[in-house]
Amino acid sequence: MNILVNMDATLQSHIERLYTILAKRRDLQLDRDWLRQVLFNVPRHRFIEQYYDHEAPDGIVQVESPKPTARQLETIYFDRGLMIREKPHSAASQPGLIFEMLADLELAHGLKVLEVGTGSGWNAGLIAFSVGDDSLVYSIDLQTDLVEKARSHLRSIGFNRVNLKAGDGGFGWQGETFDRIIVTVGAPDIPPAWGQSLTEGGILVMPLKTGGVGDPILRLHKQGNKLTGKFTRWAGFMNLQGSFRSASEDVLEPPWEPVIAALLQSEPTSVPLPTSFGTDCAFWLRLNGVPMQMLGEYKGQRGMHPVLLDKELPALYVPQSVYDSKVGKHMDVYGNPQLVERVIKGVEAWVELGEPRITDYHVELINSTESGDTEPQYYIDKRPYATLKFSLTNDFKFR
């Protein structure tokens, strides 16, 4: 394909700006010429009909079609995610994150690709451009109206043969196999159909929910009916819906909100930490049996902070160093402090190990009866449909 001709100068400048932002990212391993081509040939504004903006009169901005306003173009062509529908939720993911996942997918001409989570259809369009044949792209979403909107968006730029349907993406696309599968929602499990419908040598890229710590991107490669790989980065996504949604991996919901609010009314006990606490440490603690959750804004502290809630005691642990470097490295304990020793020892063990990051783990799908007794450091994570074995990669240096 050639770059679209007769493009409005204002629109072109906004697309060029997004390209410049993405091209400057050293961590984005993509051919820069391809990146520019795909941004112009699959223009994002053709896939966004509305988005939520707290500054808008009704909180919703209706995008003017076919020519959005300059302000709308500025928002659409910025490296940010956009909420495009509420109840049920749907979002257009941050472009930078989308392109990172496409890089993980290692797309090439002629590859057959399944996308779970159609959304606006923009990602399906990017994939279609990448594989050189829109008939090789399949995309499924539970929300029928979103699928029809995506179909209209794709057709508006000439992608008439993308295979779209409404259905439960956890079951894959019956009767089809794929060289690549990409999941664009946070999945609490790995449904059997995803591995079974992946061809030999195929790649699965998906956000894996980790009990509220976050949704790190997992890249798995199929070789000899085994799926192995690693995490590539931290991320955050909306939850997978349908038959494979698991409440055990969801962030906290009522009735625990009142419990948290009540705990925060008490005076905290301050406990020193050996290091700054973040999601990498929270993930390691989770692997070692300490449940972590990402909670929102409490006591005026903005943003998302990893905290531990023990539902039985109950007790709440808030690592202060996450959001305020001025107060030093410590943890505030609200309520019963019985678990604090276990948490502190866990943090100390993580530091002693060398503070492994999310990208330092080798991940393998195994049978639920398998173990790793011969390995020096491994963790088994059993989920309803998949049993995952995490071990530190060979190039990780133990202290």
* CA-wise closest residue to 375 among 386, 361, 385: 361
Report d(CA 17, CA 31) in Å as an integer: 17
Q: Where does 157-293 have alpha helices with state H?
A: 192-196, 256-263, 279-287
Catalytic residue (one of 90, 93, 120, 130): 93
What is the b/e burial string over 309-345, where b = at least 16 CB atoms within 10 angstroms of the residue's CB? Answer: bbeeebbbbbbbbbeeeeeebbbbbbbeeebbeebbe
* CA-wise closest residue to 122 among 99, 145, 88: 99
Q: Which two tokens stand for residue 344?
A: 């502190």
Report yes or no: 4 and 40 within 8 Å, Cβ to Cβ.
yes
Q: Count CA atoms within 13 Å of residue 198 on its CB side.
A: 27
Report yes or no: 28 and 100 within 8 Å, Cβ to Cβ.
yes
Whether 93 sits among the annotated catalytic residues: the reply is: yes
Report yes or no: 59 and 72 within 8 Å, Cβ to Cβ.
no
378-382 and 82-85 beta bridge pairing: unpaired
Active site residues: 93
